[in-house]
């Protein structure tokens, strides 16, 4: 039987108030129309969330793990984390493997190639995000310098969309960086600039070569400076580039997050969590790759105080950006759904339109998740 969801619907054309979203028995969106145009009697079930907003399902393009599990330490944990992520509004994600030996990325590819475990439901892994190892050692952050290296053609051969790699973060100013961008794009992989000392000219060269986003804007890159705008300035002023932002108020001051929002808006910003194993867990010591990370109520840090991912979830990121910018919830929501989907090369994924799978996150006007729908079924 069909299901009808009543809510304000966030569509590619904008917010459609008092909408009815008709979902087929096999989980496909059939109709998106004004409430008065849809007859309730056609439905086997009705979900009435009048006054709330139905958003395209949220996509987290940078998440290192959660619920005590770290993807780099154990790529087999991807499906277990995915099973629980929808509680935060996330319907799809890019499991992120940070700088590590080459066999770790290969294990991640193998996990995705084996496919969905029997009886599993959860947020859908859309492909790996490989953050490193082609990063600038001077901006390594919480990455193990032992494994950092320069990009070479042979090392990139297996990193293709066909093999389950969807996004790679690298430093474009490194020797071989621009060639790596071209090779990865030819292999169907999106490329992001991060952990980088790129100046303005090097950043622009990277964007011209095919880099489409910047990984955790402001972090692991030189600060915005009026005589040397660098990667931050280049990203903020280039309409081709989507800026990933960790909106926890720690990785970037709320005022800087608001400044970035004024420059990029919802179509140019992807709210990421960069969450690590401590997401969904109490304070304590958790792993991120090779390192122990001490986690308190608000942040995750190495022994020397370096930020090591976050404990942010997407629901909290939405609420934080509403507070930082003063924007209404419907204005922030594309930065959680349609824009990160576009960053990952999946623009069609993040849209509430007929013919698409019904992956929908419903929130109230305060940004609280009220319902998550995965392929037409409630989570």
Catalytic positions, please? 274
8 phi and psi, to 5 degrees?
A: -75, 125
Do 126 and 349 form a contact (C-beta atoms < 8 A)? Answer: yes
Which region, left, alpha or beta, applies to residue 210 given φ > 0 means left and ψ of -120 to 50 means alpha? left
Q: How many residues does the chain have?
A: 379
Question: In a 3-state reduction of DSSP, which class is residue 357?
Answer: strand
| Burial degree of 250 (CB within 10 A; 0-12, 13-18, 19+) | middle
| Burial degree of 285 (CB within 10 A; 0-12, 13-18, 19+) | exposed
Tokens 């892994």 appear where? Answer: 125
| Burial degree of 119 (CB within 10 A; 0-12, 13-18, 19+) | exposed
Q: Per DSSP, what are the bridge partners of residue 25? A: none
Which region, left, alpha or beta, applies to residue 122 given φ > 0 means left and ψ of -120 to 50 means alpha? left
The whole-angstrom separation of Cα 19 and Cα 35 is: 5
Contacts of 201 (CB under 8 A, 6+ apart): none
Do 329 and 53 form a contact (C-beta atoms < 8 A)? Answer: yes
Do 25 and 1 form a contact (C-beta atoms < 8 A)? Answer: yes
The candidate with the shortest Cα–Cα distance to 113, out of 75, 149, 150, is 75
The whole-angstrom separation of Cα 3 and Cα 376 is: 8
Token pair of 233 as six digits? 């300035």
The whole-angstrom separation of Cα 318 and Cα 329 is: 8
């Amino acid at each position: 039987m069909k299901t009808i969801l009543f809510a304000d619907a966030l569509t590619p054309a904008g917010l459609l108030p008092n909408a009815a979203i008709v979902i087929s028995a096999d989980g496909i969106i059939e109709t998106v129309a004004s409430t008065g145009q849809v007859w309730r009697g056609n439905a086997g079930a009705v979900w009435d969330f009048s006054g709330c907003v139905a958003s395209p399902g949220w996509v987290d393009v940078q998440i290192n793990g959660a619920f005590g599990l770290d993807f780099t330490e154990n790529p087999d944990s991807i499906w277990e984390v995915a099973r629980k992520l929808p509680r935060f509004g996330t319907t799809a994600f890019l499991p992120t493997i940070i700088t590590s030996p080459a066999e770790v990325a290969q294990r991640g590819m193998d996990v995705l190639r084996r496919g969905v475990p029997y009886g599993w439901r959860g947020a859908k892994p859309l492909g790996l995000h490989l953050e490193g190892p082609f990063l600038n050692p001077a901006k390594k952050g919480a990455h193990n310098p032992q494994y950092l290296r320069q990009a070479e053609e042979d090392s990139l051969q297996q990193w293709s969309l066909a093999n389950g790699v969807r996004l790679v973060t690298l430093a474009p100013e490194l020797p071989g960086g621009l060639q790596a961008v071209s090779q990865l794009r030819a292999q169907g992989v999106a490329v992001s600039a991060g952990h980088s000392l790129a100046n303005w000219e090097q950043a622009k060269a990277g964007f011209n070569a095919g880099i489409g986003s910047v990984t955790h804007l402001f972090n692991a890159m030189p600060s915005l400076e009026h005589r040397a705008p660098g990667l931050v300035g280049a990203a903020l002023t280039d309409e081709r580039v989507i800026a990933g932002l960790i909106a926890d108020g720690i990785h970037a001051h709320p005022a800087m997050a608001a400044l970035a929002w004024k420059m990029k808006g919802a179509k140019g910003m992807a709210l990421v969590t960069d969450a690590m194993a401590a997401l969904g867990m109490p304070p304590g010591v958790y792993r991120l790759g090779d390192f122990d990370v001490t986690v308190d109520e608000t942040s995750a840090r190495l022994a020397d105080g370096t930020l090591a991912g976050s404990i942010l979830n997407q629901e909290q990121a939405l609420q934080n950006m509403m507070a930082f910018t003063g924007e209404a919830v419907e204005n922030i929501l594309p930065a959680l759904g349609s824009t990160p989907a576009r960053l990952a090369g999946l623009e069609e994924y993040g849209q509430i339109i007929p013919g698409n799978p019904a992956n929908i996150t419903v929130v109230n006007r305060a940004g609280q998740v009220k319902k998550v729908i995965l392929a037409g079924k409630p989570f």
